[in-house]
Structure 1
């Protein structure tokens, strides 16, 4: 798996990072989740895990040609927007040695892989009833 670095949300040290892959996926490197209140909200299937990342991390999606790094709705793979303004991203846990060798991952972080199509769908404007409701003038 080949990675293309899109960005991280700080200039110093290791921190949540976003990569594009040659498999039409994104790798999201983020903080491991230890908080029981967050873990209880998740249904993590075998081979999956979840990471917590700052919302600002997804501004780097623009470097991959997407029109905006601002999510317009939540759904899989972004399962939670926390009260602290971070996202919990769930996906396949990255175990590929070649991919992991291209990253610096501290012990308190891990990496998930999510399809580009899933991320792109969250960036798009809502359709149907949601869009009509937004277009209606307030009474």
Structure 2
């Protein structure tokens, strides 16, 4: 799988990152979710995992020609925290070629989600008037 870097929200100890793949998917790199208050509420099938990322990470979708604001919180975004972050569920990335293109600290993981699923989260936002 070949990745195209779209953007990241980072500081020296954190590096949530968004990529587009050549498989019509996005790869979302974020923090491993270990908080039982969150994990106990989720149904994560085998082969999938969840990562936590700043909601602002999705602004980088514009670099893939996808515009709008994520305003619908449904799969692949399975939880929104009170701290401006969201939990994204998807297939755990195991592709060696893709993993070789990323730097993933031990406290992070990455998931692959379909572009269609992510774009569906933006469709309603595109039809709503801007109130800001």
Q: Same fold (TM over 0.5)?
A: yes
Corresponding residue for residue 93 of structure 1: 92
Q: How does 1:60-139 map to 2 (within 5 A)?
A: 60-68=60-68, 70-125=69-124
1:33 aligns with 2:33: yes
C-alpha distance in 2 between matches for 1:98 and 1:79: 27
1:21 aligns with 2:1: no
C-alpha distance in 1 between matches for 2:63 and 2:13: 21
Q: CA RMSD in A?
A: 1.7
Question: What is the number of equivalent residue pairs in this alignment?
Answer: 128
C-alpha distance in 2 between matches for 1:89 and 1:41: 14
TM-score (norm 2): 0.91
What secondary structure does 2:118 align onto? helix
- For structure 2, the 5+ residue unaligned runs are none
1:66–1:23 CA distance, 2 compared to 1 (3 A):
same
CA contact (8 A) 1:81 1:87 kept: yes
- For structure 1, the 5+ residue unaligned runs are none
Shift of 1:84: 1.1
C-alpha distance in 1 between matches for 2:73 and 2:6: 22
Shift of 1:80: 0.5
The runs of 4+ residues in structure 1 deviating greater than 4 Å are 11-14
